[in-house]
Chains A and B, each alone.
Chain A
Amino acid sequence: MSMDAVLFWFLSIVVIGAGLSVVLMSNPIYSALSLVMTMVGVAALFATLNAYFLAGVQLIVYTGAVMVLFVMVLMLFDLKRELQAFSRGKITGFFKIAGVGVLAGLLVGVITFTTQKTSLIAEGSPLAADIAAQAASGADNTKILSENLFLKNILGFELLGVLLLVIAIGVVALSRSKGGTHARD
């Protein structure tokens, strides 16, 4: 088995194991920390696929910012009632097993789908040409990514930026409403 294969199987097991423990852990803190582990594993998988920039951004944005806020908020709650509510009961147990079943089905589906078709990218398409050019030029795919974002798809990129700005303003407006967001409760 080559080194890449060893890495791939190791990281896959870590990611799937961490992902499963997100839903199976009774303590929300452990779930959140497992989600962090999943994100790190996915970033490492990106790195093995030579998508270094994506891996770095995944680390900075998801593990460095988004998940920190998740964990911070969870730590400020009183988790004793959550523990009781989620660790017992036939109904929650049924949902857990059903969730695992759906996930396993999805995994099997994805694996069979990807092994039946050799490549998801049609031959002769512009994307295939891009990938071939990138493979020929070396591993500097950050440049190709930025050219794609800022030259080819600039309109979509700017629209997404405007959308994010709207969200940011909305959050500020909501948080400044008198009495907080729970004023009507």
Chain B
Amino acid sequence: MSSMGTTTFEIVINLVKTVLIFLMMVQAVPILVWLERRGSGFIQNRFGPNRVGPLGLVQLLADAVKFLNKEDFVPDKGNRFLFYAAPVFALIPAAVAFMAIPMSTPLTVGDSTFLIQGYEVNIGIVFILGISAMAVYTMLMAGWGSSSKFSLMGAMRAAAQVISYELALGLAIVGVILVYGTFNLTEMIVAQQGPLRFSGFGFDFVAPTAFLPNWGIFFQPLGAILLFCAAFAESNRLPFDLAEGEAELVAGFHTEYGGFKMLMFFIGEYGHMMIAAGLMTTFYFGGYGIPGWTTQEVYAAGLSMFGNETAASVFNTAIHFLSFNIKFAIFLWIFIHVRWTLPRFRYDQLMDIGWKTMLPWALFNTILTATVIFLASQYIIG
């Protein structure tokens, strides 16, 4: 449970995992950018980048080389320190928050158990919300450090938007916490294993087929929609990308940035998208769980196939890692598809949606969930 580890071996493993997950996140970005560009081409009935390498896959490598060779430019009247610090800080909150999401069942080799996540925090959700809230500072630092009106306006818009939607996001998650009765992400995933079941009002309901999973989406449909919408606003993507509304603000808080510094903001933005996709998977779609099979059943299948406990554990972890990644990729694709489907909101519409629509609905969802849970445990029907 301890996040640092007690022995040298544990500390080394934790450090390696930290680096590994950070690299995973950074390496996923070129693939996502490729997917985004080819996907937008597919949606808009054109080709997208298809010249460099098979299917244009190496295009991003060429882009990275180009970015590295660009002139390192700092605005004359800007604040040098903040201008350079902002893109570096953009990577930190996204990477640290992403590490807290469990990606597979723990791997057991001999006496040691390895968690397939950066670290297990007992208050997973609160931790992720708190860390990802710090992304606002990178925008503010970039906007002010550039010493340009467009940048400052973009940063102010972005900060106001992120703070506004954080409320709806946090309140949508309260419903999830009430349903599972825990802050711990791993415990939530364990609670979503097996067929759909509900006990309360004096009777127990279990789904007749094991393929109808006990996922959170069946208990919190409204919360899921609210969380997903708020996640779009939090990661500054269309239809909520007011921060970089190019018709009004050139490019928002990163107007003055170019080359690799710009790319680092990009990685941070995609990191927030990944956190949102990971949270949706964990809260509402069973995390790494597979509908129809519990983790114990998969482990038993592996044991009968390989006849070796270590091999079975590796098999179990690999299968569930794949399951997590399939769900994760589906959500990332929805993010990309929405970006190329919906137009941008106006700024007043954005604030109206956040404060006058999503916040009341999230409050309603919280009160409804709490009432139903209380009544189901106290009263018997029939």
Contacts and interface: CB of A to CB of B under 8 A. Distances in A.
Interface string A26-47: 0001000100100010010001
Interface in B126-156: 126-127, 129-131, 133-134, 136-137, 140-141, 143-144, 152, 155-156
B134 A40 contact: yes
B122 A63 contact: no
B137 A142 contact: no
A106 interface: no
B134 A72 contact: no
A72 B160 CA distance: 9
B183 interface: yes
Nearest to A27: B79
Between B82, B122, B129, B143, the greatest number of chain A beta carbons within 10 A of the residue's beta carbon is seen for B122
Contacts of A56: 123, 126-127, 129-130
Interface in B143-183: 143-144, 152, 155-156, 159-160, 163, 166, 170, 183
Contact of A53 (B126, B136, B141): B126
A68 B144 contact: no
A47 to B, nearest CB: 8
B140 A71 contact: yes
Given A60-B129, A64-B134, A64-B136, A72 B122 contact: no
Interface residues of B, number: 33
Interface in A71-118: 71-72, 75-76
A3 B170 contact: no
A1 interface: no
Contacts of B11: 3
Contact of A64 (B133, B141, B160): B133
A99 B190 CA distance: 53
Contacts of A140: 122
A168 interface: no
A60 to B, nearest CB: 5
A65 interface: yes
Contacts of B3: 47
B74 interface: no
Contacts of A160: none
Contact of A63 (B6, B134, B152): B134
Contacts of A72: 140, 156, 159-160
Nearest to A64: B133
B1 interface: yes
A72 to B, nearest CB: 6
A129 to B, nearest CB: 23
A94 B79 CA distance: 29
Contacts of B170: 60
B131 A59 contact: yes
B212 interface: no
A52 B133 contact: no
A53 B123 contact: yes
B227 to A, nearest CB: 16
Nearest to A52: B123
A64 B123 contact: no
Between B82, B130, B144, the greatest number of chain A beta carbons within 10 A of the residue's beta carbon is seen for B130
Given A53-B123, A64-B166, A142-B123, A33 B129 contact: no
B144 to A, nearest CB: 5
A134 to B, nearest CB: 13
A139 B1 contact: yes
A63 B133 contact: yes
B134 A59 contact: yes
A49 interface: no
A76 B130 contact: no
A71 B130 contact: no
Q: Which 10 A-B pairs have the closest CB atoms?
A: A59-B130, A64-B133, A56-B126, A52-B123, A60-B130, A75-B144, A56-B130, A56-B123, A68-B136, A52-B122
Interface of B: 1, 3-6, 11, 79, 82, 121-123, 126-127, 129-131, 133-134, 136-137, 140-141, 143-144, 152, 155-156, 159-160, 163, 166, 170, 183
13 contacts: A3-B6, A29-B144, A52-B122, A52-B126, A55-B123, A56-B127, A56-B129, A64-B134, A64-B136, A65-B133, A72-B159, A72-B160, A139-B122
Given A56-B126, A63-B133, A76-B156, 15 more contacts: A3-B11, A4-B4, A29-B144, A33-B141, A53-B123, A55-B123, A56-B127, A59-B127, A63-B130, A64-B130, A68-B140, A72-B140, A75-B140, A75-B156, A142-B122
Interface of A: 3-4, 7, 29, 33, 36, 40, 43, 47, 52-53, 55-60, 63-65, 68-69, 71-72, 75-76, 139-140, 142
